[in-house]
Amino acid sequence: RDLPPTPMWGYDGRSPGPTFETVRGEPLLIEWINALPTTHFLPIDHNIHGAEHTKPAVRTVTHVHGGRVPAGSDGWPEDWFVPGRSALLHYPGVQDAASLWYHDHAMGITRLNIYAGLFGAFNVRDAHEQALGLPSGDCDLPLILCDRLIGQDGRLYYPVSDDPSAPWVPECRGNGVLCNGKLYPYFDVEPRRYRLRLINVANTRFFDLSLSQGQVFQQIGSDQGLLAAPLRRLRIELYPAERGDVVVDFAGMAGHTVHLNQQSEAILEFRVRDRGRRDPSVLPATLRSVPRIDPATAARHRVLTVGERDDASGNPMMMLLDGRMWSDPVTESPKRNTIETWSFVNVTGDAHPIHLHLVRFQIIDRRPFDLFAWNAGRVVKYTGPAQLPPPHEAGWKDTVRADPGMVTRIAMRFEGEPGRYVWHCHYLEHEDNEMMRPYQLL
């Protein structure tokens, strides 16, 4: 595939940006300097926000996704800054080991800035995880996946709508999958265990990953760190912003090539070559305890719609959370150190990956409901049994797939510093077009 190089934006001049290595208990300060050019190379005027949210075109603010970070350092979408400016943000390092990632979060143009390349991996390690003896060093690597629409000229294209009544595209799907910023790269591996931190940073693409040659994934973690025990899995499914932490063992595969497949398409090649090193890593039978949050201990149960349309606006493509716009007053104000359950009532025909900043949560269940009863009186009438999360979704999460026709319930304890945070759909086109809401931690 001899394409000319693709101009992208990045952190420290590359996309993905450098991987941050952080350790629990060691606070970190990062100065994020906006050294972007003064014009955007992607079309910026297709957005349902008013002009205040599309100008200036080049501005950014960085958010560490999954980070337990004080409000002032969390990357509030309106705290963006322009080229030549910077922001000094504080990462206290007060959370369990997890595979986080960082990305742009500028109001109204996050979909374009991330699409342009503004993302990278952010690892948090801790003593408990280090003691497990999992593959480490050059055998522990992030695999950052996204799709992009790449033209014959090698340039990135972002789809624009030609329908004036629907100014934005509700999804963006590419013609190629990038792994760590490359189209169909290869990776030289040894016949031993590797830890691969799969991160879906795509705007809309859902990944359904498998390995060739009969290889399996041992899934050891999800969004917010280790599962209770490794899970043997043939496929790993990731919605945008979700992570899957896996161990893959190439022992006995020397001389072979193993593909990582997205559905039926190979997106990455592992070339297994023996270099005579032994494998000191282990895969323990148990990883950590994940105590269940009892929903009965919640101080508050909130019921929130996903994708309710604001008919009064006349905009046929507006997607909202609980029927409210970004600028409407805050309605979710959890109290510090209390447990809440949030029920996402998905009234649309599609799944939406819903993400809360600051907190980690557990999925309680998903349960089908009667849409007519809901529309008639905002009453949840269940029409079938509750489905408990499968084991790979039973760990700590920060992004959850809210399925269509289902009420998806999560439970969390609101730990952290008081202040303003956000929750939103992580389909970036939705996030930028009013599927994002503030919340206030009291």
Torsion sign across C-alpha atoms 268, 272, 278, 284: positive
Shortest distance, position 400 Cβ to ligand C2O, whole Å: 13
Tokens 């349309």 locate to 309
Residue 65 interacts with Cu ion (CB under 5 A): yes or no: yes
| Residue number, 401 or 426, with CB nearest to ligand C2O | 426
Residue 427 interacts with Cu ion (CB under 5 A): yes or no: yes
Shortest distance, position 242 Cβ to ligand C2O, whole Å: 10
| Residue number, 103 or 430, with CB nearest to ligand C2O | 103
Stretch that binds Cu ion, among 134-142, 169-177, 337-345, 428-436 (CB under 5 A): 428-436
Phi, psi of 62 (to 5 degrees): -105, 140
Phi, psi of 430 (to 5 degrees): -70, -45
| Separation CA 427–CA 399 (nearest Å) | 11
Using a 10 angstrom Cβ sphere, with 0-12 exposed, 13-18 middle and 19 or more buried, the burial of residue 31 is: exposed
**Quick one: which of 65, 288, 366, 397 contacts ligand C2O (CB under 6 A)?**
65
By a kind-dependent CB cut-off of 5 to 8 A, residue 105 interacts, out of ligand C2O, Cu ion, none, with ligand C2O
By a kind-dependent CB cut-off of 5 to 8 A, residue 241 interacts, out of ligand C2O, Cu ion, none, with ligand C2O
| Separation CA 143–CA 67 (nearest Å) | 19
Stretch that binds ligand C2O, among 124-132, 171-179, 313-321, 421-429 (CB under 6 A): 421-429
**Quick one: which of 63, 68, 111, 288 contacts ligand C2O (CB under 6 A)?**
63
Residue 355 interacts with ligand C2O (CB under 6 A): yes or no: yes
Q: Which 3 state secondary structure label does DSSP give 33?
A: strand
Torsion sign across C-alpha atoms 348, 353, 358, 360: positive
Stretch that binds Cu ion, among 228-236, 243-251, 266-274, 430-438 (CB under 5 A): 430-438
By a kind-dependent CB cut-off of 5 to 8 A, residue 409 interacts, out of ligand C2O, Cu ion, none, with none
| Separation CA 94–CA 43 (nearest Å) | 39
Shortest distance, position 304 Cβ to ligand C2O, whole Å: 16
By a kind-dependent CB cut-off of 5 to 8 A, residue 427 interacts, out of Cu ion, ligand C2O, none, with Cu ion
Residue 241 interacts with ligand C2O (CB under 6 A): yes or no: yes
Residue 24 interacts with ligand C2O (CB under 6 A): yes or no: no
By a kind-dependent CB cut-off of 5 to 8 A, residue 367 interacts, out of Cu ion, ligand C2O, none, with none
| Separation CA 422–CA 332 (nearest Å) | 10
| Separation CA 314–CA 16 (nearest Å) | 39
Residue 424 interacts with ligand C2O (CB under 6 A): yes or no: yes
| Residue number, 249 or 431, with CB nearest to Cu ion | 431
Phi/psi zone of residue 44: left (φ > 0), alpha (ψ -120 to 50 degrees), beta? alpha
Site for Cu ion in 323-382 (CB under 5 A): 352, 357
Peptide bond just before 170 cis, omega within 30 deg:
no
| Residue number, 230 or 395, with CB nearest to Cu ion | 395
CA nearest neighbour of 28 among 76, 2, 78, 62 = 62
Strand order across the beta sheet in which 419-425 lies: 399-402, 352-356, 419-425, 436-441
Shortest distance, position 241 Cβ to ligand C2O, whole Å: 5
Alpha carbons within 13 A on the beta-carbon side of 49: 23
Peptide bond just before 56 cis, omega within 30 deg:
yes
Binding site for ligand C2O (CB under 6 A): 63, 65, 103, 105, 241, 355, 357, 422, 424, 426
Binding site for Cu ion (CB under 5 A): 65, 352, 357, 425, 427, 430, 435
